[in-house]
Amino acid sequence: MPSKSHQTSIQAPALGPRRGPGAFFVFEGGEGTGKTTQIHKIKRSLEEDLQKEVIVTWEPGGTTLGQKIREMLLDPEIPKMDARCEALLFAAARAEHVAKIIAPAVAEGKIVLCDRFWDASRAYQGSGRALGFQAIDRFNEWGTRAYYPDRVYVFDLDPRKGLERASARTGGKLDRLEQESYRFHDLVRNSYLKLAEINPRRYHVVEASSSIDEIHDDIMEDMKKCLLTPNLSSNV
């Protein structure tokens, strides 16, 4: 069971106003949920249907420094990393990511589609590692200058099915986090769903067992509404 401090700190942070004429959408979820497939499909639709300039990025990564940190974080040869060290490395990569990629793109009027962001640390380290949300939020808020997405799409899937997909995709070679127990991945999934339950205006839950086209249509319908909402994040 999560600690009492973890349970009482599970709050979806208030969002600040949109930081420019662009938009920032995040795709979250456990392993093997199909986020990456959808991100690239949605990028094509936004560019073709709406004539928008779209940037695709990911975490950990997105920058040269972020990629180096990603290699360390996901290396299966480093199985015993301290939980706080892990959380801080994710936050460091994220700070660089926002400063160098995300914030400039939104300020220039581009749409940013990001594979994982702040909520991944809340789910994986806050819940999975039992660090609680308060500590995760504190240094991520400082590191990103409180930079929040306009909308978060949570891909929901039984972790057992998702890990089967991940294993099939990589020929059985799982990274350090994918190798965690089912209990760990159940905590991650439940954390995402709890966040979405608390603040449905910020999160949109996607049934990841649906077909690729069904998922795409669901997200595109919601995203188009978001893009037509002035200063969406200030109202979420």
**Each residue of 61-74: pLDDT tens digit?**
999 999 999 999 99
Q: Is the pLDDT of residue 49 over 80?
A: yes
Mean pLDDT of 160-166: 95
Q: How confident is the model at residue 46 (pLDDT cuts 50, 70, 90)?
A: very high
Q: What is the pTM (predicted TM-score) of this model?
A: 0.89
| Burial label, 131 (beta-carbon count in 10 A; 0-12, 13-18, 19+) | buried
Residue 181 lies in a domain: yes
- The encoded tokens of residue 73 equal 């974080």
Residue 4 lies in a domain: no
Q: What is the domain-level CATH number for residue 140?
A: 3.40.50.300
Residue 139 lies in a domain: yes
Q: How confident is the model at residue 4 (pLDDT cuts 50, 70, 90)?
A: very low
- The encoded tokens of residue 187 equal 């905590």
Q: Is the pLDDT of residue 2 over 70?
A: no
What is the Cα–Cα distance from 27 to 42, expressed in whole angstroms?
Answer: 11
Is there a contact between 121 and 69 (Cβ–Cβ < 8 Å)? Answer: no
Q: Which domain holds residue 215?
A: 20-235
Is there a contact between 5 and 140 (Cβ–Cβ < 8 Å)? Answer: no
Q: Is the pLDDT of residue 43 over 60?
A: yes
pLDDT in tens, 88-100: 999 999 999 999 9
Q: What is the mean pLDDT of the chain?
A: 89
* Location of structure tokens 């986090």: 177
Residue 12 lies in a domain: no
Angle between helix axes 64-74 and 83-97 (nearest 10 degrees) is 160
Mean pLDDT of 47-60: 94
Residue 149 lies in a domain: yes
How many structural domains does the chain have?
Answer: 1
Residue 14 lies in a domain: no
Residue 162 lies in a domain: yes
